[in-house]
Amino acid sequence: MALPKTPSFRLDGKTALITGASSGIGRAAAVALAEAGAYVTVAARRAGALDQLVTELQDAGHSARVQVMDVANIPETQKLVADLGPFDVLLNSAGLARHSAAVDTNEPDFDAVSDLNIKGAYFLTQAVAKGLIAVGRSGSLMNISSQMAHVGGTDRAVYCATKHAVEGFTKAMAIEFGKHDIRVNTICPTFILTELTQATFNDPEKRAWVERQIKLNRVGRVEDIMGAAVFLASDAAAMITGASLLVDGGWTAE
């Protein structure tokens, strides 16, 4: 009997759109997908950081291009995806957090976080799926969610609400798009040390609270997300859809 063959983790010949790619998790995911062989389109609102990223990727022998994109601007995003696509892979890392006690939440903050984290993510995922369906191609669509999509958190009612919503539409879209061989999943990181989270980790009390919850006794690094992104994008995850890949160091294990 012939031995089974491990499916490939390579992404050669695939096109990938990575939003929120100017920093942090999005930037790391763009590097990971490019290293796996994908032609990456890196997108965010800041052109300067994207230009630098693409230069570094190209200098390393990878294929990449820049696209300025505001995921919260839905008509613009839909047009850009239609013009630039279809994309075999989507990794959406664009997101926003404005933390406060629930009793102090104001409507502008609620709307800003919801417009990007839910509405923007929903219609971006829809736009990429539409492009694939139109040409009859399979695909892997991923949104960066959060461990907070599975638990609650003090001062994070709005953020938790938006990430729970992402998990919901991910499951529904996975059901609808399955017949087109389009997979839809989320990656749910714990607290990851980035430029945006540095202030949290600079606070000894907050850092101690985070480290108590993470069973591996360390905070997350962007490198911890890179393998997850490549895995879900590749044929190695061909039977995984409607799922949440928790990269949380055991935070939600209790």
User: CA 232 to CA 225: how far, in whole Å?
Assistant: 11
Q: For residue 248, which amino acid is it?
A: D
Per the CB < 8 A criterion, the answer to whether 185 and 241 are in contact is yes
In this structure, is residue 4 part of a structural domain? no
Identify whether 8 is part of a domain.
no
**Residue 33 pLDDT level (bands cut at 50, 70, 90):** very high
The CATH number linked to 73 is: 3.40.50.720
C-alpha distances in Å from residue 192, one per residue of 126, 223, 244: 27, 9, 17
User: What's the predicted TM-score (pTM) here?
Assistant: 0.95
Does residue 127 lie in a domain region? yes
Q: How many domains does the chain have?
A: 1
Q: Look up residue 244 and give its two tokens.
A: 């949440």
| Percentage with pLDDT > 90 across the chain | 89
In this predicted structure, what is the pLDDT of residue 14? 98
Give the pLDDT of residue 213.
92
3-state SS assignment for residue 247: strand
Per-residue confidence (pLDDT) for residue 185, from 0 to 100: 98
pLDDT at residue 95, rounded to an integer: 93
Tokens of 79: 């047009």
Which tens digits make up the pLDDT trace of 177-225? 999 999 999 999 999 988 878 878 888 888 888 889 999 988 999 999 9
Residues 115/107, Cβ–Cβ less than 8 Å: no
**What is the predicted pLDDT for the residue at 208?**
87
Q: Is the pLDDT of residue 15 over 90?
A: yes
The answer on pLDDT for 19 being more than 80 is yes
In angstroms, the CA 129 to CA 92 distance is 13
Phi, psi of 87 (to 5 degrees): -110, 130
Q: Which residue has the higher pLDDT, 193 or 248?
A: 248
Q: Is the pLDDT of residue 35 over 90?
A: yes
Question: What pLDDT is attached to residue 207?
Answer: 86
How many alpha carbons lie under 13 Å from residue 130 in its C-beta half-sphere?
Answer: 14
Enumerate the active-site residues.
Answer: 159
- The phi and psi torsions of 6 (rounded to 5 degrees) equal -65, 130
Domain coverage including residue 31: 15-246
Phi, psi torsion values for 185, nearest 5 degrees: -140, 170
DSSP assignment, residue 10?
A: -
Residue 160 within any structural domain of the chain: yes
What is the structure's pLDDT at 9? 98
With bands split at pLDDT 50, 70 and 90, how would you rate the model's confidence at 113? Answer: very high
Mean pLDDT of all residues in 46-67? 96
C-alpha 165/C-alpha 199 separation (Å) is 27
Mean of the per-residue pLDDT values for the chain? 96
In a domain, 115, yes or no: yes
Residue 137 forms part of a structural domain = yes
Neighbour order of strands in the sheet with 182-189: 64-68, 39-44, 15-19, 89-92, 139-144, 182-189, 244-247
Stronger pLDDT, 198 or 175, i.e. the higher one: 175
Question: 157-177 and 121-135 are packed helices; what angle lies between their axes, rounded to 10 degrees?
Answer: 10
